[in-house]
Amino acid sequence: MPESSNSFKLGLTLQGVEPPDRFQQQVRDLEAAGYSHLWVTDSSLHARYVYAYLTLAALNSQHLLLGTGVTHPYTRHPGITVNAIATIDEISGGRAMLGLGAGDRPTGELGFSPARLHVMREMITTARRLLAGEKLNYTGSTFKLVEAEIHYKQRERVPIYMACSGPRMLALAGELADGIIVQVGVFPAAIEYALQRIAEGAGRAGRAVEDIELWVMACGTISEDRDQARHSSRLMAAWFAQTAPATCELAGLDPAIVSRIQAAYRGGEFHLAKDAAALVPDEMVELFTVGGSPAEARARIERLAGFNITGINFMPIGPNRTTSFKLFAEQMGIDNIR
């Protein structure tokens, strides 16, 4: 159960951008560095296939919990997603997590819009029932199940996590998810806002927020070369202006700057948004990422010590991801990892 503490678990999100041999070494390195969770993105055509890489992660680790970081309702039938994560759970000896979200630019690349609230609710509720071994007949707004069940023995409860930034999705996560990956930046006002929305949803379901795992997504490049790290991290800060503009309002940013970034944003992946990133001021890098020197990254995380947070989920971006996640783990310190 989460506790109020300045010590956090450490998770890592990786895209399958490295070839298989290098990815397998990354998995071994991150487990040795003290990370407890690994999430692999479902990036459509932008990176290698998520379930193949989760299989590699399962075979190259002993203790890491492994999940989709995150998948969505559209490019696979939700029943196929359930079967995939149940298979990963079996391969890993019970270490799988099903991470879900509404979908982002990799989804749009395939012609889908982000999932609506009711679709996410349908996927979570049916996934949980299938993973519990039920046989389902179900007709929802976007998919059907007919006498559907998993025909092999699996763990009774694979945990379901939601990644979200908007108020309604945060509330839905508070209502239904076992854990939540909050992507609103790394400044206290945003975390407080997210926790309020989560509490609203939890209250509707008669749940206590303290019984939900709460993870903060912390993205960026960490390097001893502070200027280079900040430069790389501007790409991620620009994402917030384009995809989660309400967080920019929470931060008190000049709306004119936010609008200019939105107008310049192009591409389905961070590295394609260079024009937008060039407009991002240092203030946005500090509010929305942990990009910078190792000491700066630690200082931004320490601002969150008073919140009821389970862990920090670090997503390194840029060309030197392994260096970034090793430096981050060193700065957080093994004594700070529960």
Q: Are 333 and 297 in contact (CB under 8 A)?
A: no
pLDDT tens string 183-219 = 999 999 999 999 999 999 999 999 999 999 999 999 9
Residue predicted with more confidence, 318 or 316: 316
- Domains of the chain are 9-225+288-336 (3.20.20.30)
Q: Are 154 and 90 in contact (CB under 8 A)?
A: yes
**DSSP structure string for 290-310:** --B-HHHHHHHHHTTTTS---
The pLDDT of residue 142 is 94
Confidence of residue 4 (pLDDT cuts 50, 70, 90): very low
The pLDDT of residue 140 is 96
Mean per-residue pLDDT of the chain: 93
Over residues 327-336, the mean pLDDT reads 77
pLDDT tens string 142-193 = 999 999 999 998 888 899 999 999 999 999 999 999 999 999 999 999 999 9
Q: Are 166 and 198 in contact (CB under 8 A)?
A: no
Q: How far is CA 135 from CA 88, 126, 128, 186, in A?
A: 21, 10, 12, 42
Structure tokens at 131: 């993973």
